[in-house]
A = this chain, B = another copy of it.
Amino acid sequence: MPTDTMKKIVSLAKRRGFVFQSSEIYGGLKACYDYGPLGVELKRNVKNAWWRDVVTQRADVVGLDCSIIMHPDVWKTSGHLAGFSDPLVDCKNCKERFRADHAPRATAGAECIYREGGKSDGKKLKGVVGAQGYVCPVCGSGDLSDERQFNLMFRTNLGAVDYLQEISAQIGDLAALDGAARMAKLHEIVGKSAVYLRPETAQGMFVNFKNVLDSARMKPPFGIAQQGKSYRNEITTANLTFRTCEFEQMELEFFVEPGTDDEWFDYWQKTRRDWYVGLGITPEKLRLRAHEKKELAHYAKACSDVEYFFPFENAAGEGEWGELEGIANRTDYDLSKHAAATGKDLSYFETETKKRYTPYVIEPAAGADRATLAFLCDAYREEKVADKGNEDDFRTVLKFHPRLAPIKAAVFPLVKKDGMPEKAAEIVAALQDAGIAALYDHAGAVGRRYRRMDEVGTPFCLTVDGDTLEKGTITVRDRDTMRQEIIAVGEVVAYVGERIK
């Protein structure tokens, strides 16, 4: 039974300033999103919680922040330049371009029914499934182009070279070549200045391994952590910020002595799963899923995904497991490859035991946007809170963990006079001075203001009334229990500060 939960979340996200479509006034851009005033705070809180828990609070992890554009040879060594691609096919009937590995399977040589031109009102026609064994996902036709490999890395060019001018200058030579040789020549011309937007932050940690060892005096087991954008020219994007071409990662490469890697793999699986639960994710909606052998990347000894049960709509109804984070045992594959390619020694020498080894790597790689989306979806509730037979009986509330809530406290004057607005503004300023995100609101009835704050997940609402001015007390209302309690104005900063840790 679809309950439209995801649609409601998307609508709330836009209305209250969590997520906007990028360049919306220009008609938007495919699967690009902007975080609005509340979304940016939510995502910052997610990223800061990760940094604090993975880097600051650990003696065995240090941070790193690499440039997104790296030397192109890094991607040659990592295998991304040759192998990071999807098989693409064009439908000759409806012109759809799609991923062969995601297309509906069908028996080669069997009959297929498809819509002429791919239009929903197109004539139904009969065709034959080709040797590939699948049909077009849009119109059902089996009349398809050959598969071609489409590299998912975004390519751009660094330096004062205009490759189009080069191509133009060599147009005669290019025209004289046959197809394959011409493509090779075109790639050569563009390749001279080509650089790529990283498809993962991980390689930055591998190529800086030695620099970090030398400067930060770390020794295995230790980790290097990084947050930052990565780019993949995904063919299929969907579900708000779940799969987008530009996305932010939170990756940890944890270097260990070979032989201890299984143990550390287990440790990080558990630690990372618990992290989401500790920040409020419903445990029943979270699972660890071990990859089957055939799913594993060629360099991985083992991999597990932390998955969340998102309220995405699909053919089966509502709800779908989606990956939040992959924890992989990458072995010594990356360090060994970079060492071989550069001739640099990327092994570790243990002075005590005189042992030299290339560390194995356990990699918990999380998506900052996906985590943010999961926290948003998980926080979303519709609750019946009264029984008066009108719309006020219901409330929409985002039950964010207080550490993640974009606004920690809202302060209301009960009425817009008698010095109450000034007092409320003063309390907001005191909270903000302590680095606590706080908001002042005087519009409408206090009940309305509560509902507005429930809808954006503010854990504490404080109302300034007559007693505040006379006796120095203030009413705190709790988002989740909706209970009110009276505290001293002087305690407000400590009260809120204590509860958002």
Contacts and interface: CB of A to CB of B under 8 A. Distances in A.
A67 B154 contact: no
A17 interface: yes
A342 B25 contact: yes
Given A164-B183, A164-B190, A435-B52, A64 B88 contact: no
Interface string A47-78: 00001100011110011111111110110000
Contact of A164 (B187, B224, B341): B187
Contacts of A435: 52, 56-57
A126 to B, nearest CB: 28
Contacts of A34: 64-67, 204, 208
A404 to B, nearest CB: 15
Contacts of A162: 150
Chain A at the B interface: SS class = mixed
A69 B217 CA distance: 38
Interface stretch (A113-121, A172-180, A375-383): A172-180
Interface in A26-42: 26-30, 32-41
A210 B25 contact: yes
Interface string A267-294: 0000000000000000000000000000
Nearest to A171: B175
Nearest to A74: B23
**Interface range on chain A: under 10, 10 to 19, 20 to 34, or 35 or more?**
35 or more
A186 interface: yes
Contacts of A159: 30, 233
Nearest to A215: B17
A22 interface: yes
A151 to B, nearest CB: 9
A182 B171 contact: yes
B17 A37 contact: no
Contacts of A217: 443
Given A64-B36, A97-B160, A29 B195 contact: yes
Contact of A23 (B63, B70, B158, B436): B70
Nearest to A39: B65
A57 B428 CA distance: 9
Contact of A32 (B57, B67, B437, B443): B67
A38 to B, nearest CB: 8
Nearest to A185: B168
A296 B143 CA distance: 59
A428 B35 CA distance: 36
Contact of A14 (B33, B52, B197, B215): B215
A15 interface: yes
10 contacts: A20-B208, A26-B74, A26-B341, A30-B159, A34-B66, A38-B215, A40-B64, A158-B245, A168-B186, A171-B171
Interface of A: 14-17, 20, 22-30, 32-41, 43-44, 51-52, 56-59, 62-71, 73-74, 88, 97, 150, 154-160, 162, 164-165, 167-168, 171-172, 174-175, 179, 182-183, 186-187, 190, 195, 197, 204, 207-208, 210-212, 215-217, 224, 226, 229, 233, 235, 244-246, 338, 341-342, 344, 346, 425, 428-429, 432-433, 435-437, 439-440, 443
